[in-house]
Structure 1
């Protein structure tokens, strides 16, 4: 049941950005499309004997990870740029800290940089190991179209945006 909810949430958030024709589909139509492509078959009986198929939790986890990897590879190769002239994109960053077993030493210190285009569900998110001005500039140039309005919290790392051709607001 949780896998079905995750799949539906994935459809609502991610797939409509890439395949807009899926936005109008109901859950049943979406499931049918996946079944036709061979991607959803757990609840369908075997076409030869009619016995319901059984899939253990380990296989579901492996397929979920594989599907996640396919999406990551796709979006890494096909960066979608948001914004544009007279369009506001809000950009912010946050520090990600992870401790091993939630105690003692820190094993991960990364920054999550993300943006959302006002009035839409268009977003970008990128993980980076530093939030230097040069790195933030490169991330914004990779994900936001030129001559757009970039709204930030005025942290000094964003100070070069006007030189890159963006309108910088707070």
Structure 2
């Protein structure tokens, strides 16, 4: 297989690169777009391997965007110099993204032109960016792991976690819709995240969350609320649940108006039983969902201003349960939110 090195910045070509790839076609230009046209015209009939050595992120973006359209077998990006030189298989990342996502995503994460990572909100190198996201989408992600594995300081990890939460918040909002189909039943409940200790130690402020889940489709929603009064909950029920559906709840008085609002309302008295002996109504499904959500929300170091982000992250990870798919879904969401600015 013919190995071709497209040199986009001659000064970065190290002796290590020359030793690894002794046979290469040397093209020297400061215009990466012309390089890509050269690749298309010169190698249209022969699959080649391309090694790009450049600190210019414009080159990175263009290589990714055109790599699938050109007849290139593999494309690698070299980062660093000397003993720190490493090779990143860019073609593997490119192939995992659909064509319309490649340019926006790499524009966002590489700092193309004057736009830095996450639309100007910090700038790590592309390899560290991807490694962080791979860690962040895991259920077991925590700051200590990111600090240890990526050698980042706590402030950087905190900032990048916030940026990732922004992506999933936007993703959740775009998917937001009413739940409950034909003859479907929706369970609703409220739960408090964080409890006051029994007059021992630091007082922990809690956050009430209102949620609902469809028994048949398993679609669900989570909304943080300041109060659990009738007006607040009824407004969310009308906003999140299709009208006229069957709703099961506990005996909280704020729900007493549901029948008057056109819903079929069933209740279960948890002080007596978990399943109503007459109607067989229960809220076990939503109770299990609370357990899953709370396992994903940070138990320590939690900030109330980030709570919407915590819930969105939980929703994202519970909806996209396969970790191998989360990276792909997250990158598409990031490309949608932080689109290139011309």
TM-score between the two structures when normalised by the length of structure 1 = 0.61
SS at match of 2:97: helix
Q: 1:146 Cα deviation (Å)?
A: 0.6
User: Are the counterparts in 1 of residues 180 and 242 from structure 2 also a CA contact under 8 Å?
Assistant: yes
Indicate the residue corresponding to 1:57 in structure 2: 152
Shift in alpha-carbon separation, 1:139–1:114, aligned structure 2, 3 A: same
1:103 and 2:196 aligned: no
Counterpart residue number, 1:124: 221
- 1:69-99 CA distances to partner (integer Å, 9 max, x unpaired)? 1322454476321114411111111123356
Structure 1 unaligned blocks of 5 or more: 1-27, 45-53
Tell me how far apart the structure 2 counterparts of residues 104 and 92 of structure 1 sit (CA, whole Å).
28
Work out the CA distance in 1 between the residues paired with 2:262 and 2:94: 41
Aligned match of 1:113? 210
In 1, Cα distance between the equivalents of 2:168 and 2:202? Answer: 34
Conserved? CA contact 1:89–1:150, under 8 Å: yes
Pair 1:85–1:154, CA change in 2 (3 A):
farther
Maintained 8 Å contact 1:91/1:152: yes
- Whole-angstrom CA distance in 1 between matches of 2:172 and 2:209: 16
2:260 matches 1:163: yes
Report the Cα distance in structure 1 between the residues aligned to 2:129 and 2:208, rounded to whole angstroms: 40
Greater per-residue strand proportion = 1
CA contact (8 A) 1:117 1:123 kept: yes
Q: Cα deviation per residue 1:40-75 (whole Å; 9 max; x = unaligned)? A: 74498xxxxxxxxx9643545533321211322454
Runs (4+) of structure 1 exceeding 4 A deviation are: 28-31, 58-61
Count the aligned residue pairs: 132
**SS at structure 1 position matched to 2:210:** strand
Alpha-carbon offset, residue 122 of structure 1 = 1.0
Q: Which residue of 2 aligns with 1:67?
A: 164
In 2, Cα distance between the equivalents of 1:121 and 1:83? 9
Where does residue 33 of structure 1 map in the other structure?
Answer: 97
The higher radius of gyration belongs to: 2
Closer, same or farther in 2 for the Cα pair 1:119/1:98, shift >3 Å? same
